[in-house]
């Protein structure tokens, strides 16, 4: 189904501006916390033990970049790499107690002044569904 060219451009412009606004928001939170934006995003995504490859997919970055971010988080004692219970070749990333506290803090800051706050929960769910429909399979 083809879209309307002018409308397509308007939607793309709005999505681009929203992405920029969200990026600025994450950068501000990172600065407040003394972390990098990538570290804040990694903490946000570490809601459960996952592999570095899974984290890279969630962060939409190369595995080497995720490894670099994880190295910095490990230096700060925010994560640990532990043997994967189902794959002895892999390690899973687990938050330390300090990492769990920092993740909670990051989520609190991210939620506090989120650019999405003006939307109702129902509107946020609708937006999420629409954005997921536009993403290539397996990316989020």
Stated pTM of the model:
0.88
Which residues in the chain show pLDDT less than 50?
A: none
pLDDT for 30-60, tens place per residue? 999 999 999 999 999 999 999 999 999 999 9
The candidate with the shortest Cα–Cα distance to 37, out of 78, 84, 69, is 69
For domain 5-115, give the fold.
Answer: Arc Repressor Mutant, subunit A (1.10.10)
């Amino acid at each position: 189904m083809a879209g309307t060219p002018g409308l397509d451009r308007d939607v793309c412009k709005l999505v681009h501006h929203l992405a920029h606004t969200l990026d600025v928001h994450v950068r501000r939170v990172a600065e407040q916390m003394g972390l990098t934006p990538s570290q804040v995003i990694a903490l946000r995504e570490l809601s459960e033990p996952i592999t570095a490859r899974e984290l890279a997919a969630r962060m939409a970055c190369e595995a080497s970049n995720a490894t670099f971010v994880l190295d910095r988080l490990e230096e700060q004692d925010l994560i640990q790499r532990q043997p994967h219970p189902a794959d002895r070749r892999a390690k899973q990333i687990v938050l330390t107690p300090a990492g769990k506290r920092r993740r909670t803090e990051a989520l609190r800051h991210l939620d506090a002044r989120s650019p999405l706050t003006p939307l109702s929960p129902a509107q946020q769910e609708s937006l999420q569904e629409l954005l997921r429909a536009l993403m290539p399979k397996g990316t989020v």
